[in-house]
Amino acid sequence: MSQIKEWSAHLVRLNQHNVATFRRAPWAEISGSLGDLGTLLPLMIALAAQGSIRLASTLVFSGIFNILTGIFFGIPLPVQPMKAIASAAISARQDPSVNVVVAAGQWVGAAVLLMSVTGFLHRAVVFVPVPVVKGIQLGAGLSLIIGAGSSLLQPLHWIDPVLDNRIWAIFAFVALVCTQHIPRFPYALCFFILAVIFAFIRVRLSHQSMPWLEIWSPQFVLPSWFGKHDAPALWMAIGQLPLTTLNSIIAVAALSADLLPSVNEPSVTSIGLSVAVMNLTGTWFGAMPVCHGAGGLAAQYRFGARSGASVILLGSVKLVLGLLLGDSLVDLLSKYPASLLAIMVLAAGLELAMVAQSLNKGAPDLWQTSTSQAGDDFLRRARQSRHLTDQERSERWTVMLMTTAGIMAFRNDALGLLAGMLCHWSFQASHRIQQWQTRRRNLPCERDALLQ
């Protein structure tokens, strides 16, 4: 009973924080809620257009998950597509059916649920050193930047089409740079409104269908867990699982502590359970497999979000759109200007990559051990008192960059993790060999001292 009261009090505090933050800076929270559109829209539109997900169900359930995430975590934790599953579905020789895609999400959800309840995720946080986690975050940020350039900006022309070209991208970039030092400027909100206006105009000019009233009617989807397709669900899930575990659970928990130290960061177990529940519920109705992600959190923080109020607001809008308009939004969303979307993705990637700067100053592993029994006043002083030698700094940077290099070279978070861990273990082994050699050299001196 006491635990229930304690949990209820914690939930009340989180939502008091949500309300207070929204009242203090409403436009910043609204703008920040749109920061993750750069990840959501391209993948959601592509999957909906080829029939691999149901757009209405995706909007409804991702909206519900946004609302619940904001209430229970109190931070702008995103709900975004599972990138590896989406990429496999989009690049498959034959468009996989919705039955295959949702089955892949359920495989991942079941695996994450098992890792959460067995405590594997909690042990993984202790096992994976901070430089490797920072390397995963840096790799994810750089991947977002490269993706913005290669997938969104490079295909654009300089003038044509008039409402989506490189000139608009340059304009959005200049506006981003000029407003970055203006506190809580609603950049994402302003450019989202501009992009929606452009999308309406482009749909109108192309004589495609405008959004109309289409009430959502839930339809059950039978997953194809073992179907013999070009992209079997199990293999899609195997490709997604390392990305979900590392970037969507471990890295996002660490990032929340870096960006929002005043709010109790969620545990990896609670984030894992959230990912599991999302993919074991909405997918039965054709909703897109989703997860949380460090890139989305960095994006929403970059554009002003500081509490769960931002994602609650976003979820409410998505829920209403899914219930009332649903699949009729496909044509409008497909005309969303890539030029404006790319700059938002670029800003998100930069925000995520910048967390690497705290590796050797302010990282959690630099103060936890020395202040585990200290008071709050001493805790703040001790966090600054941890001193690293030049060799320690160099080794930590090397481990982080080796992790990032593995991710960038192989486009695989698991291989990046392996590269970083091998580098970390090699340094540890070298130190132990040096300590053993030092003890061996000092042993005769100690023996002589004892004999005297």
Residue percentage of the chain with pLDDT more than 90: 45
Residue 93, pLDDT > 80, answer no
Residue 369, pLDDT > 50, answer no
pLDDT in tens, 402-413: 999 998 998 878
pLDDT of residue 446: 60
Residue 3, pLDDT > 80, answer no
**Best CA proximity match to 188, nearest among 318, 328, 37:** 37
User: pTM score > 0.85 for this model?
Assistant: no
pLDDT of residue 370: 44
pLDDT of residue 448: 62
Range with the poorest average pLDDT among 156-170, 229-243, 316-330, 347-361: 229-243
Residue 371, pLDDT > 60, answer no
pLDDT of residue 376: 44
DSSP string, 30-88: HHHHTTTHHHHHHHHHHHHHTTSS-HHHHHHHHHHHHHHHHHHH-S----EE-HHHHHH
Range with the poorest average pLDDT among 16-25, 92-101, 122-131, 314-323: 92-101
pLDDT in tens, 132-160: 988 988 988 888 888 888 888 999 999 98
Task: Tell me what the mean pLDDT of segment 431-443 comes to.
Answer: 83
The label of the residue with tokens 């703040």 reads 380
pLDDT in tens, 312-352: 999 999 999 999 998 889 889 889 999 998 998 888 888 88
Confidence of residue 183 (pLDDT cuts 50, 70, 90): low
Residue 367, pLDDT > 70, answer no
At 334, the amino acid letter reads: S
More confident residue, 178 or 358: 178
Task: Tell me what the mean pLDDT of segment 110-117 comes to.
Answer: 95
